[in-house]
Structure formats: structure tokens, C-alpha cells
Amino acid sequence: MIVCQCTGISDRDITAAIDWMRAADPETIITPGKIYHALGKRADCGGCMPLFLDTMRRCDKVGVAPPILRARTDSRKESPHEGRRQGHRISERRTAV
């Protein structure tokens, strides 16, 4: 499955890069940047990052996970807004008469 459309990286490429890095240095912390570098690619738009990270999470050999790979929390689902303060829209602001 293609994970990064911009650079043509597949889930197999990510797994192969992780396996290669783990064989070369069992103690290394594997990050998306290191995977891109190992594949000779550069991140472009970043739209693939959620799928890229999910693919990394599914790999057994990732080892020690940096904070970006730790399990996601659903704390944002509890909040009905996107973290903006109330009255952030101009139409919601009251004007003094």
C-alpha cells in the first residue's frame, strides 16, 4: 500500500527501512525523518504523516518509541471545539453600541 504519494513510499518500504536500521543499530530510536533519510527521500507535504506513523506503530521492530509514536489519546474527542476560545468568530463577537 502506498503511504506517501509524493515520494512513492509504501508500507513495505517503511518496514524494510525499520528492519535495516534495527539490524544496523539495535538501540537506535527510529523516527519518520530517519526512515525518509534511509530511503533517500524527503518529506514533502506532510499529508501522509498520520498513515506513516500508524504504519510505524504496527511494525514490531520499532523498539523504543519516541513520543510521536506513542499511542494516541482520545482527549480531543471529549471537547466539542477545536481548542479555540469562545467568541473567536467575528459574527459571535458583540460590539459596543
DSSP class per residue in 24-74: H-TTPPP-HHHHHHHTT----S-TTHHHHHHHHHH-GGG-SPPGGGSPPP-
Q: 3 and 14 in contact (C-beta within 8 Å)?
A: yes
Between these two residues, 68 and 32, which has the higher pLDDT value? 32
Q: pLDDT grade, residue 35 (50/70/90)?
A: very high
Q: How much is the average pLDDT of 33-43?
A: 92
Least confident segment among 56-65, 69-78, 84-93: 69-78
